[in-house]
A and B are shown apart, each in its own frame.
Chain A
Amino acid sequence: MISFINVNCTFGKKAGVKNVNFSVNSGEFIFLTGPSGAGKSTILRLIYMDLFPEKGKVIIRNYNSNNIHDREIPYLRRKVGMVFQDFRLLPDRNVYQNVALSLYVSHYKTSEIKKRVYRVLNQVGLGHRVHYRPSELSGGEQQRVAIARALVKEPVVILADEPTGNLDPRVSIDLMSLLNKINKKGTAIIVATHNYSLIQRIPGARLIQIDEGEIVNIT
């Protein structure tokens, strides 16, 4: 489903990644680990095509980084859910509106949007917080909204960049359980983290270790 073939990508003064090769199958759970600045986020950005390789190619389903047109990128992103450490929720919209945005951009009907948003908010345990603004929620709840936003469009993969970075250990464990549950239903998940204790929470997950932009180990 996702393939990195001899990918090199550097940007600015940061190293980026060098000669990266790996692939992800449907329904897999993968951890990208390594120290800060190792290139974990770069790999995720290459997947949602916020960055493009200087050498090699990234293939996500039918989309190839070497020949994708700018116009096609939004359609790729509708197939890829994203979760960030800083949540990236819109502060002037409530939980429902934040989650529904993903479906409005994909031109869904209002009735379908309503159905899906309520279903996914119940799935992440926020059915009772629909009309709350992000500022009225805890960090863990905000991250659940971000997961709901990623999940509602039924993506083939969810990319989570340090999703527990701003959360306390207990909430982090809950969140990993939620991601695990989502993965069990068939959605591939790639989590970039340097928190090794989280990795142990998902026994069947594959581990890709990165250091200074290079993959040093895949298990």
Chain B
Amino acid sequence: MTVFWFLIREGFKGLIRSKYAGAFSVIIISISLILVGFGYVGSRDTLFLVENIRAQFDVDIFLHKTASSEEIDNFAALLDSMTEVRNVHYISPEKAAVKFKKEFGEDIFDILDYNPLPSSFTINLKPIYRNLVSVEGIASILSNKPVVDEVKYRKQFLILLEKYQRIVLITVVSVFAFLALLSIILTSNSIKMTIFARREVISTMKLVGATNSFIRWPFIIEGTLQGFIGSCLASLFIYGIFYFLNNYLQTVIEYKAIVSYRYYIGIVISGSLLGLIGSRRAIRKFLK
């Protein structure tokens, strides 16, 4: 037990003994995690935005004017049974007339003395089927139904969305990976500097007969503490920025950064792990 508490105590004291090098390391870890923290929220919200745009994609199916109510009911049942379909919305000729008036500002009965608008369905597809190949397949199946007059969807919108989503995804993942890698390198190097500054402690410990694990533990505890403190500072900073953004900048930008407490716990765990792994890697070099 004496050794256990000695190593724990040495780890905590090391943080104070390392002075400027330790403080520098904490700041570097903090900056790295701030970058990664913002990078994560930015990436998440960009991908969410793209997915949201995609969710608005609908397919409109116009039926023949002559379709009987039984045929319409049967067709509605067919749409409901399709695995690709998330929800089905029926628009009767009367509802279509109301919609027409809302969209164009004129009553269809003022232009014509009858309602030429057909019954239609608007279907929204499940996320995995919101792509060009699936939509074309579904449109082709539905077009062949006798009751269907026309199937319409924004093909060009889908082509553009697919093209840009890939670019956005690659960019977002690359930026996030770069930030994560940068934070690992920065953290590892700053911890290495802290240990380098106290290499004489390591050499003296070796001379008096310390085993490698005995030398290693205080440095690992110290590195983990640096990571923990750095990540707490990063969490506080990010919380402050998000608070300011969500409460004072809503008139300037229409964006709300919403994160749960789990996000901050994630930052603290990541920071502590970065410190632990970084110090473990760094000390290995000095124990050879």
Q: Return the contact of B209 from the options A75, A90, A92, A113 (Cβ within 8 A).
A: A75
Quick one: which of A59-85 are within 8 Å of B by CB? 71, 74-78, 82
Quick one: which of B193-244 are within 8 Å of A by CB? 200-201, 203-212, 214
Chain A positions 179 through 219: 1 when the CB is less than 8 Å from some CB of chain B, otherwise 0? 00000000000000000000000000000000000000000
Query: Is A13 at the interface (CB under 8 A from chain B)?
Result: no
CA distance A76 to B211 in the complex (A): 11
Q: Which residues of B contact A52 (CB under 8 A)?
A: none
CA distance A48 to B203 in the complex (A): 13
The answer to whether B204 and A77 have CB atoms under 8 Å apart is: no
15 CB < 8 A contacts A-B: A48-B207, A71-B211, A74-B211, A77-B206, A77-B207, A77-B209, A78-B209, A82-B208, A90-B200, A104-B2, A105-B209, A105-B211, A107-B2, A149-B208, A153-B209
Query: What total of chain A residues lie within 8 Å of the partner, measured CB to CB?
Result: 24
Which A residues are closer than 8 A to B by beta carbons? 48, 71, 74-78, 82, 88-90, 92, 101-102, 104-110, 113, 149, 153
With A88-B200, A90-B200, A92-B17 already in contact, the answer to whether A101 and B2 are too (CB < 8 A) is: no
Q: Which residues of A contact B100 (CB under 8 A)?
A: none
CA distance A48 to B208 in the complex (A): 10
Q: Which residues of B contact A88 (CB under 8 A)?
A: 200, 203-204, 207
- Summed over the interface, the residue pairs from A and B with CB atoms below 8 Å come to a total of 51
Query: Is B78 at the interface (CB under 8 A from chain A)?
Result: no
Quick one: which of B69-90 are within 8 Å of A by CB? none
CA distance A71 to B17 in the complex (A): 28
With A74-B210, A88-B200 already in contact, the answer to whether A105 and B2 are too (CB < 8 A) is: no
The 10 A-B residue pairs whose C-beta atoms are closest, nearest first, are A78-B209, A77-B209, A105-B210, A102-B208, A74-B209, A74-B211, A92-B17, A110-B2, A104-B6, A107-B3
The answer to whether B200 and A101 have CB atoms under 8 Å apart is: no
Q: Return the contact of A102 from the options B3, B6, B200, B209 (Cβ within 8 A).
A: B209
Which A-chain residue is minimally distant from B215 (CB atoms)? A105
Q: Return the contact of A90 from the options B3, B6, B201 (Cβ within 8 A).
A: B201
CA distance A28 to B6 in the complex (A): 35
Distance in angstroms from B18 CB to nearest chain A CB is 9
CA distance A113 to B208 in the complex (A): 15
With A107-B3, A108-B2 already in contact, the answer to whether A101 and B17 are too (CB < 8 A) is: no
Distance in angstroms from B253 CB to nearest chain A CB is 50
CA distance A50 to B208 in the complex (A): 12
Q: Return the contact of B208 from the options A71, A77, A108, A109 (Cβ within 8 A).
A: A77
CA distance A110 to B203 in the complex (A): 23
Q: Which residues of A contact B211 (CB under 8 A)?
A: 71, 74, 105
Distance in angstroms from B224 CB to nearest chain A CB is 20
Quick one: which of B176-195 are within 8 Å of A by CB? none
CA distance A110 to B200 in the complex (A): 25
Q: Which residues of B contact A74 (CB under 8 A)?
A: 206, 209-212, 214
Which B-chain residue is minimally distant from A82 (CB atoms)? B207
Known pairs A74-B214, A75-B209 / 4 extra A-B pairs, C-beta < 8 Å: A77-B208, A88-B203, A104-B3, A113-B2
The answer to whether A105 and B204 have CB atoms under 8 Å apart is: no
Distance in angstroms from B196 CB to nearest chain A CB is 15
CA distance A102 to B203 in the complex (A): 13
The answer to whether A109 and B204 have CB atoms under 8 Å apart is: no
Chain B positions 243 through 255: 1 when the CB is less than 8 Å from some CB of chain A, otherwise 0? 0000000000000
Q: Which residues of A contact B201 (CB under 8 A)?
A: 90
With A88-B200, A90-B201 already in contact, the answer to whether A101 and B208 are too (CB < 8 A) is: yes
CA distance A109 to B1 in the complex (A): 8
CA distance A113 to B207 in the complex (A): 18
Which A-chain residue is minimally distant from B214 (CB atoms)? A105
Q: Which residues of B contact A105 (CB under 8 A)?
A: 205, 208-211, 214
Q: Which residues of B contact A113 (CB under 8 A)?
A: 2
CA distance A110 to B17 in the complex (A): 22
Quick one: which of B1-24 are within 8 Å of A by CB? 2-3, 6, 17
Q: Which residues of A contact B3 (CB under 8 A)?
A: 104, 107
Which B-chain residue is minimally distant from A98 (CB atoms)? B204
Q: Which residues of A contact B206 (CB under 8 A)?
A: 74, 77
Interface centre among A71, A88, A108 (most CB of B within 10 A): A88
Interface centre among B17, B204, B214 (most CB of A within 10 A): B204
CA distance A88 to B199 in the complex (A): 12
Q: Which residues of B contact A107 (CB under 8 A)?
A: 2-3
The answer to whether B204 and A101 have CB atoms under 8 Å apart is: yes
